[in-house]
A and B are shown apart, each in its own frame.
Chain A
Amino acid sequence: MRRFVLRRAAYAVVSLFLLSVTIFLFVRVTGDPTVLLVEPGASKADLEALRQDLGLDRSLLVQYGAFMRDLARGDFGRSFYYRMPVLELYISRLPNSLMLAVAAMAFSLLIGIPSGILAAVRVGGWWDSGGKIFTLLGLSMPQFWVGLLLILFFSVYLGWLPSSGSGTAWHVLMPAFALGWYFAAAHMRLTRSSMLEVLGSEYVKLARLKGLPEFRVIAKHAFKNALIPVLTLAGINLVLMVNVSVVVETVFAWPGVGRLFYEGIAFRDFPVVQATVLLSGSMIIVVNLVVDLLYAVIDPRIRYER
């Protein structure tokens, strides 16, 4: 077990290293950020001074060394555009993204779990068929299109909900639904298959043989166990939601980390782009590591496999 943990942790560290190098190199070839920071007509000397000020005139290796040393200190650099520490900027946007992700998760679970259970209980029935069509649509309709359709219907025609921005609870409804939509389909699919597996197990048969009413068998015995894989996936997906909401946040002008990332690219703001991709990649690597380790704790067979 100890070897397994060490090896997994080492893999994660290697992944983090590769991630940082990839991102560092990619960001350095995007173009010259200084051109965007000075007023048009600035002299060559001004540009050079700014490049030196920002440390862009040094060799790549030196820049990377400085970059990693700062990272180790928790310093992600200063945003060229906002002129403040990137980490501060990121942290100030993170609650918005988390709020959106949690609301989207609530939507996806509220839709996905009950419909998945119904589909499993009535396999082959009309509810099951309807569920298939729903999952298919969920996986086929792009999130941003769903977002635009929602704006069209609820903001333009009905005038019920604000089309963009943040502030009130009403603002979060549409982006959360657009983001949760895709995941609802995935959660429904998993709930259905997990439920079917549990319903076919020995202890559910026993519960039925005892003469328990069907409702209690499903609600009390099957449901609890069927929920475990769904909640595991939901946990992973929550982290994923924070990191894939770029398009939805752009559609609804939601001030989260996704929009920060998008602005960073639009303004060629090196430190911002670097930090957002790095932080979201790291978050996912860490979550993967945690999930791997949790599985190994739960199921000893996995420890010896690799």
Chain B
Amino acid sequence: MSVSPAPASPSPVAAVPVTWRLPVFRADGLPMLPIAILVTLALMAIFADLIAPYNPEIGTLSQRFRPPAWVAGGSTEYLLGTDHIGRDVLSRLIFGARVSMIVGFTAVIFAGVLGSTLGILSGYLGGWVDQVIMRITDTWLALPGLTFAIFMAAVVGPSEWNLVIILGAVYWTRYARVIRGEVLSLKERDFVRLAIVAGCSKWTIMRRHLLPNVLNTAIVLATLMLGVVIVTEAALSFLGVGVPPPKPAWGLMLADGKKGLMAGYWWLTVLPGACIALMVLSANLLGDWLRVKLDPQLRQL
């Protein structure tokens, strides 16, 4: 779901004089709001087995479509209600955080490692290596990420690890482009030239001298990509080509929730979506903050 599909052309945003900082509640310069949300979600994911009141995959059919506790007809037994086969929504949301976090983080790291490696190779070696890698990058960038992800997910079948590989395979291109650009300017710098004079091999230069210098950029990109990756995962699960049921994933819960939508069972649609939005929001806020903090060059990205 990229907004600028033409990375080869100069972006019209490039010449913005005033950076637009997003509103963040700060203490000691740290963006406390997104950190608090992400930490809460991470704790939920880690201790899901301890805090979830019910098994997220097993329901009680006689208790189906129970509304949340504060609505007429609801009870404190099921704080956030139950779904179409009587599974506890709260428990599924808690375990869903685990799925989203694991898939989101591993996919972002996978994409980052793949993209950064190719970016460094492409930028430093230049020549035909650069040509081949950049042609492939352009082609992959040309495909709308979501369409391509759905396409590949349908090919390899639904599972979390397939999902990680697919998301990584779709989103590595952004790292490759940005890191390559960075390496192109870094390799003209004196410390790289001195390393060449000192007899370092190409491999050593890339690993010891270039990699540490592009790490900040990679981390900022990773945080900004986290939101995109989580939304894509949710969309794939929603379409039935992502996390396989009956696993509790937020996207899958939305797909199930659609069954009760016309009957007005709002909690099955509102709650999982709110979780996704909250997580993506926090990732975006944190990424925006990191961008300004760690990498001034990316401020206008």
Q: Which residues does A use to contact B, with CB under 8 Å?
A: 11, 14-15, 18-19, 22-23, 26-27, 29-30, 123, 129, 132-133, 136-137, 139-145, 148-149, 151-152, 155-157, 163, 182-183, 186, 189-190, 192-194, 196-197, 200, 228-230, 232-233, 236-237, 239-240, 243-244, 246-247, 250-251, 261-262, 265, 273, 277, 280-281, 284-285, 287-288, 291-292, 295, 299, 302
Decide if A19 touches B147 in the complex (CB within 8 Å).
Answer: no
Residues of A within 8 A of B227 (CB): 139-140
A-B contact pairs, 14 of them (CB 8 A): A19-B143, A26-B155, A27-B155, A148-B258, A163-B261, A194-B12, A196-B18, A244-B144, A262-B150, A277-B143, A285-B139, A288-B142, A291-B9, A292-B8
Interface 0/1 of B257-285, CB less than 8 Å to A: 11001101010011001001100110011
Q: Kindly state the separation between the CA atoms of A163 and B263 in the bound complex, as whole angstroms.
A: 12
Residues of B within 8 A of A163 (CB): 261-262
Nearest 9 CB-CB pairings of A with B:
A229-B12, A145-B273, A193-B16, A265-B154, A140-B281, A18-B139, A140-B280, A186-B3, A15-B139
Q: Kindly state the separation between the CA atoms of A287 and B9 in the bound complex, as whole angstroms.
A: 11
Complex partner residue of A262 from B144, B239, B273, CB under 8 angstroms = B239
Residues 1-26 of B at the A interface (beta carbon under 8 Å)? 1-6, 8-10, 12-13, 15-18, 20, 22-23
Residues of B within 8 A of A15 (CB): 135, 138-139, 142
Q: Which of A132, A133, A156 has the most CB of B within 10 A?
A: A156
Residues 230-250 of B at the A interface (beta carbon under 8 Å)? 231, 234-235, 238-239, 241
Secondary structure at the B interface, as helix, strand, loop or mixed, is helix
Complex partner residue of B146 from A145, A196, A246, CB under 8 angstroms = A246
Decide if A156 touches B12 in the complex (CB within 8 Å).
Answer: no
Decide if B6 touches A291 in the complex (CB within 8 Å).
Answer: yes
Decide if A197 touches B5 in the complex (CB within 8 Å).
Answer: no
Q: Kindly state the separation between the CA atoms of A18 and B235 in the bound complex, as whole angstroms.
A: 26
Complex partner residue of B285 from A136, A190, A261, A285, CB under 8 angstroms = A136
With both chains docked as a complex, state the minimum distance between the C-beta of B23 and any C-beta of chain A, in angstroms: 6
Complex partner residue of B273 from A136, A149, A228, CB under 8 angstroms = A149
With both chains docked as a complex, state the minimum distance between the C-beta of A12 and any C-beta of chain B, in angstroms: 9
Asked, given contacts A151-B261, A247-B235, A292-B9, whether A26 binds B151 with beta carbons under 8 Å apart, the answer is yes
Residues of A within 8 A of B280 (CB): 139-142
Decide if A182 touches B147 in the complex (CB within 8 Å).
Answer: no
Residues 23-82 of B at the A interface (beta carbon under 8 Å)? 23
Q: Does B152 contact A (CB under 8 A)?
A: yes
Decide if B4 touches A11 in the complex (CB within 8 Å).
Answer: no
Asked, given contacts A18-B135, A136-B284, A281-B142, whether A123 binds B6 with beta carbons under 8 Å apart, the answer is no
With both chains docked as a complex, state the minimum distance between the C-beta of A61 and any C-beta of chain B, in angstroms: 20
- Chain B's closest residue to A185 (CB) is B3
Decide if B5 touches A30 in the complex (CB within 8 Å).
Answer: no
Residues of B within 8 A of A246 (CB): 146-147, 150, 239
Asked, given contacts A142-B235, A149-B269, whether A196 binds B284 with beta carbons under 8 Å apart, the answer is no
With both chains docked as a complex, state the minimum distance between the C-beta of A30 and any C-beta of chain B, in angstroms: 5
Q: Kindly state the separation between the CA atoms of A285 and B7 in the bound complex, as whole angstroms.
A: 11
Residues of A within 8 A of B18 (CB): 123, 193, 196
